[in-house]
Structure 1
Amino acid sequence: MHHQLLNMPLFLLSVLCLYSSHASVPALRFSAFLDPTHQIYLRWDHNAEEAIMTFELQAHSTGWVSFGFTNNKEITGADFVIGGILPDGNVYFSDWHGVSEDTVLEDENQDYELLSLTQDATSTTMAFRRYFRTCDEDDLDITGDTLRLMAGYGTDDTINFFEGRIVHKSLYMMLLSTEDELHSPSIYHVYDLKVDDVSITSLKTKITLDSFSDRFNFEPRITPRNETLVHHILVYACGNASVLPTGVSDCYGADPDFALCSQVVVGWAVGGGSYMFPDETGISIGTPLDAQWVRLEIHYSNFNLIPDLIDNSGIRIYYTPELRPYDMGVLHTGLFTFPIHFIPPGVDSYMSYGICNTSQFEEMNGAPVPDMHMFGYLLHTHLAGKGVRGVLYRNGEQVTVLCEDNKYDFNLQETRNLKETVIFKPGDEFLVECQYQTLDRTDVIFGGPSTLNEMCLIFLFYYPRNNISSCLGYPDIQYVANELGQEASDEMEGMMAINLVDWDNETIKKAEKACKEAEQTVIIKTIDELVRNETSFIREISDTILAPCKDISRAIPAPWLKRQTEYKATPPTTAKALGAKSIFPLPPLLFLSWCFTWLLTSSV
């Protein structure tokens, strides 16, 4: 049967005296808890046409609540709002930014628009919206990168920001759809592809697939308390030339029977969740062309060398006999994971490149390769990675930046969908660029499987499938070593010479330039382990043009906001910086008097 698998204390804010006619908030499709104890819950949605995002934050507190964005969890440069409801029912809400680690300042331009603020006996719910890019230099852009969110709350309305509970979470917010919006099959089955009581030092096993045959949706199944140890999970389809070994073997070990499985079927990495494929496609299993077994590969990071750890993690597969129009494939691209890839120590920003040249795809496939419809991707580097992007070229010209994350977070690696499918044609080139930061390293980082080594990879999801499994590039390391003043007559000597380089600003720049200018060898591999080499060069990348900024204060409010907007008070224009030692709570009676006086004077 042919089936498919689916899928600084701050004590006073300027207060907005509002008439509390709580407007309804539009339906928000996406949601997440922002803390492990589920005390702070965020719902959100975005409108790409209007370039605006709407939020609803619910915190388990009847005091002040806060939400916003940071750079690497730092208060300096943070962009956030604080709001709440006083005991007498008056509402306060204001836009702030961090100027240092113990001081925040109210923005001169208020670019967050309050939609509603409600409170019950235990929780405060605050709904608001903001443009992706405001024209305020104190605001951070909302982008398609991984965003660092900051949220918090206090026990009451005396706002001591730096003594409240503050949490941080990395989140990708430009989601395109929920699983509920996709079409789950009416009939499906579940299969747990996992290891059984494996010692944490055992990294690989192989499991037969002859007992079922369908297409899938998948989700990780991580053994409780091993969440910080399971680094990533890969499921490979094994070529028909392979044989079925028994037991468990080390990743990249000497057993040749484990080596003949290179077609990535499913990829999961730390921070990722479940993923359902689009309605058009699924992974085929059960036909004569499909693998008869797969390899389950699990990488662990046991930095603390905890002994006697046992794991039962793996992937839960959802499969169905209800076939979808196209069988999908995964193309493994980027920089060949080998010590030819190196990153100098002590650098704030260093770029590495790996290119895929598809000119031999049709010959290696054994048949014409139809247009490859790219619909999703998974980015992957290790701890030094700070940004990844993939760029498509045709006839030497850049077609598009297919995917990018300029704020990559190792702890949030997930499969993401493209806004629309992108076509790869035979002869196209695909460049993977990775940005690294190694300020905390004193030795050169080399490419390799360990978490302390590095990788530079993008897994591309596409349909209809072909027989190509990977297309990875690497620079001429002999050329690079020579450019760095080292003698090297072949690749091995070139790799060894990198350890002899005295790293400073000059040699770091030379190394980055040489790796980018060097001829790249492109290794192309098929499902049946046919390997050929091609050559290519790294092309220049045209940066994505940012959309113009927007000022929400000049936006026309929706009709249901009109009354609330009319009653929205403007705080005094005097800038207020509140530092860690500033303590001046405003007595409630004085506050009410101030509000009443402001309303009278503003109406004259």
Structure 2
Amino acid sequence: MTCVFFRLFLLVALAAPSQGTHHGPTTRLRYSRFLDPSNVVFLRWDFDLQAEIITFELQVRTAGWVGLGITNRYTSVGSDLVVGGVLPDGNVYFSDQHLVDEDTLEEDGSQDAELLGLTEDAAYTTMRFSRPFRSCDPHDQDITSDTMRVLAAYGLDDTLKLSRKRAFVKSIFLLQITYHDDEDLPEDTMTHDLEITDFLIPEDDTTYACMFLPLPIVNKKHHIYKFEPKLVDHNETMVHHILVYACGNASVLPTGISECYGFDPAFSLCSQVIVGWAVGGLSYQFPDEAGISIGTPLDPQWIRLEVHYSNFHNLPGVYDSSGIRLYYTSHLRKYDIGVLELGVLTFPIHFIPPGAESFMSYGLCKTEKFEEMNGAPISDMQVASYLLHTHLAGQALKAVQYRNGKQLRTICKDDSYDFSLQETRDLPHPVEIKLGDELLIECSYQTLDRDSMTFGGTSTINEMCLIFLFYYPRNNISSCLGYPDIISVAHELGEEASENPMENLMILNNVEWTQENIKKAEKACKESLQTVMIKTINELIENTTGRIPDIIPTPRGPCLESSGGKVEPQDKSPAGFRAEPMTLNGSSTVTLEHLPLAAIFLLQGTLSWLLATLQTAV
């Protein structure tokens, strides 16, 4: 491992205060997370979407150097890492760097991180800095609303030596919008637990356990405004997802616990998701203007609780009582929340070839029949939040909206999807869906590690392509899923097609999956006629057909030019630099300038006093 010694990469000190920079040394940062299993590395952060600036504060239990940056899915090479620390004589060093290989750091030509403070005491080294979402330096990873893989590292002293024992990568939604404070709960808040009790997890790779449970019994309308998972200690790694489906009040429901999609079809009744949690998720609170309605004749009285277990180690004798805790109140919101499931029908007709570096699947939804199937007029749907879901091969998802044959917007996306981090996320602003709009879900998969076909299905080693949209006001449509004409796909691949879809799947399984055939299959799936299956909460189903429209890529915004260092001409964005000063509305703060060593010594007393204000308890 290459060892590089700190020789004061950049000596920085505090200059006179100036107005404008957001998230200064003492500003409270709204978000926080431990980045390591031992709770030694603690990150706080906040951001300004308008100015496209993010502020980090990294606090590590060490007297050595600390570093924070962004890495990618596959390798740490090329990761950016902002490093800093306090030398034994009290001088501060700080530098914007990148990894040229797995062990070696090199300073960026363009210094795009602005230091807001560095302190060291008997317990912690704390570094606070800001940086643009997208700088003009190709060595800096863009910060987007996608899943970001945050890299943190530290040393035991001021010798910059990377150690795998002290380097951690954690997936985080850095730009996740959160409008609610978990401490601000209605005074009459009540809770209701939906859980499977003492269920013996089978010694199988995948189990879908289902049971039917009543919702809270109330004598007038209430709103569920928040939910959170209830996980049994030590069982967290085995619980893949938990879904709550609303049942139509005319449904005849079975008792007990059984396999959801086994021999008894009654345990797969009820298909309208109202609450969903998946691995890596936390609690979620609905927007202030909407909640899930209970207590009226039109509201569901029973639900189907589905818990998906992944017992890959085939452990025997493990009992579980996982579920969902609901928070509800009589303080009503303006609207009732609904959930619309979009994507590709979860069935083996959805296939992904082996050895694919990238394979796209598409699921089309056409809303023109929604009102007819709803049985009553439908208001425009205001989408407030979303949950993305694939299994292990999933790499990226997006939902795109079309109106009158033209692409309107990308509703939501994640180009860096992580199976281990699935949370319901708020949109920055509600998105309006009108009757007649088309919605397209695109999922990208990678199967380089697989030598056989991957089919759509419920097992974790099968695949899904689903996006759940949380919207208001509620209607009776529960899902709108698409799938390709498998006969035409087989023809395009030069295979003898059968009228039996399952026989065609066997034919596809025998295809020699060269890169040419993989791309041919992807093109055939996209260009074939799609069947769109629409389902209501009362299990009414109607099909229509449509063609997959093209997706026009969203252009990247302009980069923010650094105030220091160099930017090579080829690094400039086609949209040009956004060279205005990096200031934001909000509190005043201090700016840091690069000063000669003599000036640092002169200011050292002031520096120590000001930086000491940064230190806060974890």
User: For 2:56 and 2:25, how far apart are their aligned partners in 1?
Assistant: 13
Name which of structure 1's ranges 325-334 and 200-209 shifts more when overlaid on structure 2. 200-209
Question: Which of 570, 579, 592 lines up with 1:564 in the alignment?
Answer: 592
Rounded Cα–Cα distance in structure 1 between residues aligned with 2:115 and 2:216: 57
Contact 1:25 1:116 in 2 (8 A): no
Give the C-alpha shift of residue 397 in structure 1: 0.6
For residues 537 and 330 of structure 1, what CA distance do their matches in structure 2 show? 24
Give the counterpart letter for 1:91 in structure 2: V
**Which one of 530, 534, 538 corresponds to residue 528 of structure 1?**
538
* Superposed displacement of residue 185, structure 1: 1.7
Q: Provide closer, same or farther for how the CA distance between residues 552 and 161 of structure 1 changes in structure 2, counting only shifts above 3 A.
A: same
Which of the residues 200, 209, 223 maps onto 1:215? Answer: 223
Q: Quick check: 2:42–2:58 contact (8 Å CA) kept in 1?
A: yes
After superposition, residues 479-494 of structure 1 pair within 5 angstroms as 479-490=488-499, 491-494=501-504
Give the SS at the match of 1:121.
coil
1:419-438 deviation per Cα after TM superposition (whole angstroms, max 9, x unaligned): 11111111111000000010
CA distance in 1, matches of 2:475, 2:449: 42
Residue 11 of structure 1 corresponds to which residue in structure 2? 4
Deviations 1:147-179 (A, max 9, x none): 001112111112212366111100001122253
Distance change in 2, residues 1:178/1:360 (3 Å) = closer
Read off the aligned partner of 2:522 and give its amino acid letter. Answer: E
Question: Which of residues 281, 289, 306 in structure 2 aligns to 1:297?
Answer: 306
Q: Render the CA deviation track for 1:28-87: whole Å, top value 9, x for unaligned.
A: 111111122211111111111111111111111111111111012632010111110011
- Indicate conservation of the 8 Å contact 1:30/1:178, yes or no: no
Structure 1 segment 429-468 matched on structure 2, within 5 A: 429-468=438-477
Equivalent AA in structure 1 for residue 516 of structure 2: E
> What secondary structure, in the 3-state scheme, does the structure 2 residue paired with 1:507 have?
helix
Residue 392 of structure 1: CA displacement?
0.4
Question: Within 1, Cα distance between the matches of 2:164 and 2:504?
Answer: 54
> 2: distance between equivalents of 1:343 and 1:356?
21
Q: Which AA in structure 1 matches 2:330?
A: P
Deviation of 1:183 (Å): 5.6
Indicate whether 1:409 and 2:418 are aligned: yes
- What amino acid is the match of 2:11? C
1:148 equivalent in alignment to 2:136: no
- After superposition, residues 54-65 of structure 1 pair within 5 angstroms as 54-65=55-66
Amino acid at match of 1:211: I
- The Cα of 1:233 is off from its aligned counterpart by 0.5
Where do 5+ consecutive residues of structure 1 fail to align?
Answer: 1-7, 570-591, 597-604
**Equivalent-residue separation in structure 1 for 2:283 and 2:50 (angstroms):** 28
The code of the aligned residue for 1:461 comes to F
Aligned-partner SS, 1:76: coil
TM-score (norm 1): 0.90
SS in 2 for 1:179: coil
Structure 2 length-normalised TM: 0.88
1:513 counterpart SS class: helix
**Alpha-carbon distance in structure 2 between the residues aligned to 1:594 and 1:372:** 60
Report the Cα offset of residue 488 of structure 1.
1.5
Is 1:246 the counterpart of 2:255? The answer is yes
Please give the root-mean-square deviation of Cα atoms over the aligned residues, in Å. Answer: 2.1
Distance 1:176 1:568, change over 3 A: farther
Relative to structure 2, which stretch is displaced further, 113-122 or 175-184?
175-184
Partner of 2:45: 44
**Secondary structure of 2:306's match?**
strand
2:272 is aligned with 1:273: no
Determine the C-alpha separation between the residues in 2 that align with 1:46 and 1:210.
Answer: 39
Structure 1 residue 109, shift from structure 2 partner: 0.9
- Could you tell me which residue of structure 1 aligns to residue 102 of structure 2? 101
Q: Could you list the runs of 5+ residues in structure 2 that have no partner in the other structure?
A: 18-23, 565-579, 602-618
Match of 1:518 among 525, 528, 534: 528
Aligned residues, how many? 567
Alpha-carbon separation, structure 1, partners of 2:74 and 2:144: 17
Superposed CA deviations along residues 172-193 of structure 1, whole A, max 9, x for unmatched, are 0112225318963221101111
Matched, 1:67 2:68: yes
Q: Secondary structure at the match of 2:81?
A: strand
CA change 1:462–1:55 in 2 (3 A) is same
Q: Which residue of 2 aligns with 1:586?
A: none
**Matched letter for residue 387 of structure 1:** A
Q: Is the 8 A contact 1:30 1:45 kept in 2?
A: yes
> Equivalent residues in 2 for 1:365-404 (5 A)?
365-404=374-413
Shift of 1:254: 2.8
| Post-superposition offset of 1:10 | 3.5
1:574 counterpart residue number:
none
8 Å Cα contact 1:81/1:95 also seen in 2: yes
Task: Provide the rounded CA distance (Å) in 2 between the counterparts of 1:59 and 1:73.
Answer: 26
Secondary structure of 1:367's partner? coil
Please identify, of 250-259 and 498-507, the stretch whose mean Cα deviation from structure 2 is larger.
Answer: 250-259
- SS of 2:100's partner is strand
Q: CA deviation at 1:359?
A: 1.0
2:32 aligned partner? 31
In the TM superposition, residue 560 of structure 1 has moved relative to its aligned partner by 5.9
Instruction: Write the letter of the residue equivalent to 1:564.
Output: L
Cα separation, partners in 2 of 1:52 and 1:366, compared to 1, 3 Å: same
Q: CA deviation at 1:211?
A: 2.9
- Does structure 2 conserve the Cα–Cα contact (< 8 Å) formed by 1:75 and 1:99? no
Residue-by-residue CA offset, 1:170-220 (whole Å, 9 max, x unaligned): 000112225318963221101111111001136111112263463220001
Give the aligned partner of residue 585 of structure 1: none
How has the CA–CA distance of structure 1 residues 117 and 560 changed in structure 2, closer, same or farther, with 3 Å as cutoff? Answer: farther
- Verify: 1:474 aligned to 2:483, yes or no: yes
User: Equivalent residue for 1:600?
Assistant: none
Once the two structures are superposed, residues 297-333 of structure 1 have per-residue CA deviations (whole angstroms, 9 ceiling, x without a partner) of 0001111111111111111110111111100100011
Q: Residue 204 of structure 1: which of 207, 210, 220 is its match?
A: 210
Counterpart for residue 607 of structure 2: none
| Equivalent residues of 1:154, 1:164 under 8 A apart | no
- Residues 182, 328 of structure 1: CA spacing in aligned structure 2 closer, same or farther, 3 A cutoff? farther
